[in-house]
Amino acid sequence: MKEASPPTVVEIPADSNVEMSWQVFGGELNELYWALVKARCIKDGLATDEETVAQQFRLHLHRGIGYLATPSAINNIGDLINLALDEKS
């Protein structure tokens, strides 16, 4: 969600056999995460109904996973840790 531009609307295949409720995914902070996605919808000029917010969450998540899956970005667990630490500094 840090990316300035909204994610491209693409069809995301639901071919995973992992199913999880929003409350389980977000844990104790699920309401905060939902509010952040909703705020981003407002910033991007989108509706804030449940369907739109859920779609935008999936698109942001899909884009973020794509960034992490870039072959040159992460080659081992150390690269992932360094990436996380760089974001905090």
Q: Where are the domains of the chain?
A: 32-88
CB-based contact 67:73 (threshold 8 Å): yes
User: Helices 50-68 and 30-43: crossing angle, nearest 10°?
Assistant: 90
* Three-class DSSP category at 69: coil
Tell me the pTM: 0.70
pLDDT for position 86: 72
CB-based contact 1:63 (threshold 8 Å): no
pLDDT by residue for the chain (89 residues), tens only, comes to 778 888 888 877 665 666 778 888 889 999 999 999 999 999 999 999 999 999 999 899 888 888 777 767 677 888 878 877 776 55
Q: Within a 10 A sphere around the Cβ of 15, how many other Cβ atoms? A: 5
